[in-house]
Amino acid sequence: MDQIPLRYGTNPHQKNARVFALDGSLPIQVLNGQPSYINILDALYGWQLVRELKAATGLAAAASFKHTSPAGAAVAKPLTPEFRRSQFLAEEDLSPAATAYARARGGDRMSSYGDAAAVSDVVDVSLAKMLGREVSDLIVAPGYEPEALEVLKAKQGGRYLVLQIDPNYQPPEMERREMFGVGLEQQRNAATIDRLLLQNVVTQQKDIPDGVAETLIVATVALKYTQSNSVCVAYDGQVIGMGAGQQSRVHCTRLACDKAEKWFLQMHPRVLDLPFAEGLKRPEKANVVDQFLLWEQLSDAERAAMLAGLRGEPEPIGRDERLAWMRRFDGIGLSSDGYIPFRDNIDRAARSNVQYVIQPGGSIRDEPVIAAADEYGMVMVESGLRLFVH
């Protein structure tokens, strides 16, 4: 039997863990390091996501996974100077795979700390060097340039996990799972997510520009591999807010929109010009930015700790200023893995300037939800496709 011993199961005390082929050979190889159970789950989820994004858009794709849900996902597009500054990225030439990963990780850099990176294309030196600067646990890809592989093998004192997956592997139609001594079986979720999913527009506003269609596809493919309930906010082919694993949909929406607002505000001039204290490392700068954007919610102790990372006390960004900044951006999309049951989700999304929504539909309250979208001049698609993951 083709198998790989694992360091441990979900937790270190869960011993005798392994990954094995149900039939034939494993599609995944370990090129460096020793995986754990969660590493393999993140790698398999992440690979499926980026493979589907590449197939749907024709662009190099990347995902940043944490605990079996994507913190971020994106396709390769040019990086703006403001995005580079907000992510503390140097002015350097990047391959499409590296650009996609920079965008995926930058979708929620707090959550991406210690991530599982997945890319659709062969890893080159520019991506390997980028990973060398980040706190990351593993990468999975269809291949590696020799020099890039050597760079990655040197990461974490030689312990960085490097996985290679067969891009031609196709899993069987049926998938199985065992829990508490009980076996479950179902057909694998092989639903295709493409522009055909965007045909049933139910609002008065109907137009979906090509770039927005691509963004809605990125958000929806990401949801296909996110623990439910989940709502995803995306912009310009990039996930910028993932609300995953919540028990109510409006909490998913609030979480996703809060993250999306933070992503946009990271590029506000006052944030880009924050006077960081000398010697602060990139993750520490990210923490300062995160706290600065929560200024009004901080306790005195939290505010003092944040100010210790700055030279001086900058002027916070007020509520009206935040709302005005969000209105500068067009083409913000939201995707929901299940139907939207109440208009409170639409009201919260509108506050973050969401203009396009895709959801399965099929609720007994579809009419008031559609009416709410019409009030805000949104475009809403009912796809008829639920995408729960459990």
What stretch of H or E contains 305?
helix 300-307
Which residues, 6 or more positions from 40, have their beta carbon under 8 angstroms from its beta carbon?
6, 19, 28
The identity of residue 318, as a single letter, is G
3-state secondary structure of 313: coil
Q: Which of 39, 321, 330, 11 is nearest to 159 (CA)?
A: 39
Choice among 32, 39, 229, 345 that is catalytic: 229
Backbone dihedral angles phi then psi of residue 161, each to the nearest 5 degrees = -85, 120
Catalytic residue among 13, 168, 281, 390: 390
**Catalytic residue, candidates 32, 54, 66, 224:** 66
Q: Is 229 among the residues known to form the active site?
A: yes
CA proximity to 131, closest of 185, 77, 95: 95
Catalytic residue status for 11: no
Per-residue tokens: 2: 């083709």
251 is catalytic: no
**Does residue 155 carry a catalytic annotation?**
no
Q: Which residues contact 187 (CB under 8 A, 6 or more apart)?
A: 173, 174, 175
Q: What's the rounded Cα separation, in Å, for the pair 190 and 221?
A: 11
Catalytic one of 67, 129, 153, 251: 67
Cα-Cα-Cα-Cα dihedral sign, residues 313, 314, 315, 317 = negative
Burial class (CB in 10 A: 0-12, 13-18, 19+), 318: exposed
What gap in Å lies between CA 332 and CA 338, rounded to an integer?
19
Active site residues: 66-67, 229, 390
